[in-house]
Chain A
Amino acid sequence: MEDVLSISKVSKHFKSFILNNININIKENCITGFLGKNGTGKTTLIKIILGLVHKDEGEIHYFSNPNLNKKDIKDRLGVVLDEGYFYDNLTLNEMKDLVSSTYTNWNNKKYENYIKRFKLDGKQLISSLSKGMKMKYALALALSHNADLLIMDEPTSGLDPEVRKELMQILSEYVQQDGKSVFFSTHITSDLEQVADEIIIINNGEILEQVSKDELLEEYRLIKGNNEILEKLNKSDLSLINKTNYGFSAITNKYEKIRKEFPEIIIERTNLNEIFLAKTEVY
């Protein structure tokens, strides 16, 4: 599996925020989820990847090919940003004509298929679209110029569960084609649980981890037991400790060790949400 995007030592300094020494790589045919709380640098990094924000330091390699120029790269990236950069007073088809003229390999048949599939109307004004419809429209544009890497910033935020599921389905279909990859940011862990192959976690402008989804889920467990056990456990092994008069629960990646010491403890699998909160917990 080749890297479709490799980012090394990228930094960006703002007055009140620093994106610090980012090293990640996006693999071909993978759906990579970019997970982080609001205001932790997800959008800034995506804008740097797209060349919309200048980086202070570091390097970005696109499609493992140093010979691509800016135009080649733009052609191969499909982009869906949080605030759709559309003109409200144009119709979908008028806006499409503007956008399509900037791409070398625009495929109008594909566009029309997506518009039909998403139940959109090309003659509708952009200002009349709901949030979900706007995202679908942006996706239709992003998927209609033969892009190899789809980059999306928070595509699911503010969408209802049904539309989110539909989007995840489309992403899964997209990466079935050889050489197609997806990178999208979110703070909704259930989206990733469904479709992601790899997960990159960002917190306070730094990458905490890049890991396969299944490995991440394997790494942590929810443990439960009585409070005498909690007293004896090393608190630095535990996160999200929830203690009541009757017992405690906590998230840990040291469950093998704890099981040996306290065989009576209950150990259960947990979900991405708890693991994410445990990893980014503020002490």
Chain B
Amino acid sequence: MRNLNIIISNTSEKPLYEQIKEQVKSAILEGDLDNGELLPSIRKFSTDLNVSILTIRRVYDELEKEGFVSSKAGKGTFVLAGNKDLIEDTKRILIEEKLIDLITISNMLDINIEELHKMLDIVYEEV
């Protein structure tokens, strides 16, 4: 694994499988993992991360269902980063989730859409 960093937080309220799954997913989305790259075996990965093998199996199962990896019996689990539509879609969904939060808070604070647009432009320049 070239660029797979997984940090597990004990203070996070998120369950372990979710923390691991999100970090593998973002490594795929950010291009740190290449298409076709072999992920660690569930046994090796779980021992290294000091989590149950059942947790890693769940992570791989869910990533496979979502189309980010593919498992081949006896060979292992591979990254599927060739699916550009899925990756673009997922990036958009990630941003949309944040936008929904943003709009909800804006509505609560009586900030209208024009004001929000202006703020977005200003903050975007600054970051």
Contacts and interface: CB of A to CB of B under 8 A. Distances in A.
B50 A197 contact: no
A30 to B, nearest CB: 6
A275 B6 CA distance: 26
A11 to B, nearest CB: 28
Interface string B33-61: 00000000001101100111111010000
B54 A214 contact: yes
A29 B55 contact: no
Contacts of B57: 1
**Chain A contact patch, size range:** 10 to 19
B75 to A, nearest CB: 13
Nearest to B9: A269
Interface residues of B, number: 16
Contacts of A198: 52, 54
B58 to A, nearest CB: 9
Contacts of A30: 53-54
A3 to B, nearest CB: 14
A213 B46 CA distance: 12
B15 interface: yes
B52 A29 contact: no
In this complex, the member of A29, A30, A197 whose beta carbon has the largest number of chain B beta carbons within 10 angstroms is: A197
A176 B47 contact: yes
Interface in B16-46: 16-17, 43-44, 46
29 contacts: A1-B57, A29-B43, A29-B53, A30-B53, A30-B54, A175-B43, A175-B47, A176-B43, A176-B44, A194-B50, A196-B52, A197-B46, A197-B53, A197-B54, A198-B52, A212-B52, A212-B54, A212-B55, A213-B51, A213-B52, A214-B16, A214-B17, A214-B51, A214-B54, A214-B55, A215-B52, A218-B15, A218-B16, A269-B11
Interface of A: 1, 29-30, 172, 175-176, 194-198, 212-215, 218, 269
